[in-house]
Amino acid sequence: MKPTNLSPIRVGLLGIGTVGSGTYNVLQRNQEEIRRRAGRGIEITMVADLDVARAKAAVGAGVQVVDDARKVVTSPDVDIVIELIGGYGIAKQLVLEAIEAGKHVVTANKALLAVHGTEIFAAAHRKGVMVAFEAAVAGGIPIIKALREGLTANSIQWIAGIINGTTNFILSEMRDKGLDFDVVLKEAQRLGYAEADPTFDIEGVDAGHKVTLMSAIAFGIPVQFDKAYVEGITGLAAQDIRYAEQLGYRIKLLGITKRAANGIELRVHPSLVPAKRLIANVEGAMNAVVVQGDAVGTTLYYGKGAGSEPTASAVIADLVDIARLHTADPEHRVPHLAFQPDAMSDLPVVPMSEVVTSYYLRLKVADEAGVLAKVTGILASAGISIDAVLQREADEVGGEGSTHTDLIILTHECQEAKMTGALAQMQALPTVLAPITRIRKEELA
């Protein structure tokens, strides 16, 4: 091996919770192999955490522990700052201060980058430092590396990902056990799969942050979470999962970004996916991302999207990249968003009303003559083509003697605005007895 005289690169850690302690432990355990790969040692020299006792218990005696994160971001003895605080508040200030102090930054903070990425990347570019964020999307899966480097020859066509483990766990349990959302959410919280406040996960916001980052890298557009369409899984009923299954589909919360004729689609919502697709079979808290490139075709990335050491795996990959490129001319490093900052695209994000996709509809209808004809008539006059219809016997749906039933319709592709208009007309029919359920459908072919 080529001998290296470089001293270890010095790392300051902000926040030593689950991911921070995983990062420290993996760096310790694999330090020799990591040094051989990076060409120099990587050492955590400083840790900031409000819980100093917990931090001291998590690291060795040689690590300086402080309760003031500013001491880390301004320390002359730190080359790289790892930000694991989360959120857009103090984390944003500390990241910008670290950049201003000439430090490289590694962060797992998707919310921060999806909302304030443009400002942060511009600041880093001005200072000639790197902001690396492999851990921000799909935890341990190296999807940022794949998109930014491995697939760089391709014109990316679309990306679809299960990028939130909490919601995938809930959907898997709903399907396996036939239970409704609220029941499974409580169970997931009891088992520690869902946070006490699960809002960002179950409302699709976390997945929205992650798909915003992937979209920027795939298409060379700025990060613009505010333009993403975000819908979570709180409205899903066990019966929809069951009906979807009878039609050969699974329901997954997908983050989707796609090159369309009128711009870039950027959306998160529950989607029916054909049960035969590999991604439809990703169960529990696992993550998976499918990327379609024009040259490579379809590629699939699967793994743990959260957890101490899986996320640490991504954080350390970024540390190694920075250790290797620390002394390189900033112009020769991989750009933050894969495209050169002066070569970004101004393609618009397509409003959801203009997105073209197909649909699953469930209508609770009176079990009487002419109902199906009226519903299909509305679809026909909106120019929406039906792919399949499933009607259960009234007794089966509402019990013996029931006068209502469920009508399930799968449509071919149409523009969202057309479907919204048709739904309003169907909803106004006196024979439609409850709010209509609309779930989008993606063939991912």
The binding site for ligand HSE (CB under 6 A) comprises 164-166, 201, 206, 305-306
Q: Based on CB atoms, which residue is closest to ligand HSE, 166 or 257?
A: 166
Closest to 318 measured CA to CA, from 147, 82, 95, 119: 82
Contact yes or no for 414/356 (Cβ under 8 A) = yes
**Tokens 């101004």 identify what position?**
346
Q: How far is the CB of 355 from ligand HSE (least distance, A)?
A: 24
Show the tokens assigned to 246.
């009878």
Catalytic residues, by residue number, are 210
CB 232 within 8 A of CB 251: no
CB 229, CB 165: distance < 8 Å: no
Please give the DSSP secondary-structure letter assigned to residue 17: S
Rank residues 293 and 303 by Cβ distance to ligand HSE and give the closer one.
303
CB of 140 to ligand HSE, least distance (A): 11
Q: Choose between 210 and 441: whose C-beta lies nearer to ligand HSE.
A: 210
Q: Which of 241, 271, 255, 249 minimizes the C-alpha distance to 172? A: 241
Nearer to ligand HSE by Cβ, of 113 and 394: the residue is 113
Please identify, using beta-carbon distances, which residue of 22 and 165 lies nearer to ligand HSE: 165
| Token representation of residue 178 | 């036939």
Helix (H, G, I), strand (E, B), or coil: what is residue 203? Answer: coil
| CA 157 – CA 293 distance, rounded (Å) | 5
Report the candidate in 289, 291, 416 with the shortest Cα–Cα distance to residue 350: 416
First to last CA, the chain: 46
- Residue 132 C-beta-side C-alpha neighbours within 13 Å: 27
Min. distance of Cβ 431 from ligand HSE in angstroms? 41
Nearest distance from residue 82's CB to ligand HSE, in Å?
Answer: 16
Question: Which letter does DSSP use for residue 430 in this model?
Answer: T
Least distance in Å: CB of 193 to ligand HSE?
A: 8
To the nearest whole angstrom, how small is the minimum distance from the Cβ of residue 189 to ligand HSE?
Answer: 12
Please give the full DSSP string across 316-351, using - where no structure is assigned. HHHHHHHHHHTTS-GGGSPPTTSS-GGG---PPBPP
Element spanning 37, H or E: helix 31-38
Strand order in the sheet with 131-132: 64-66, 42-48, 9-14, 80-83, 104-107, 131-132
How far apart CA 101 and CA 206 sit, in angstroms, is: 30
Query: Token pair of 234, please?
Result: 């709180």
- Our CB check for ligand HSE shows the closer of 165 and 270 to be 165
Whole-number Cα distances in Å, 359 to 290, 355, 432: 21, 12, 18
Contact between 186 and 179 (Cβ < 8 Å): no
Nearest distance from C-beta of residue 311 to ligand HSE, angstroms: 8
Taking the least distance from each CB to ligand HSE, the nearer of 44 and 253 is 253
Pick between residue 206 and residue 406 the one whose CB is nearest to ligand HSE: 206
- Give the nearest distance from C-beta 206 to ligand HSE in angstroms: 5
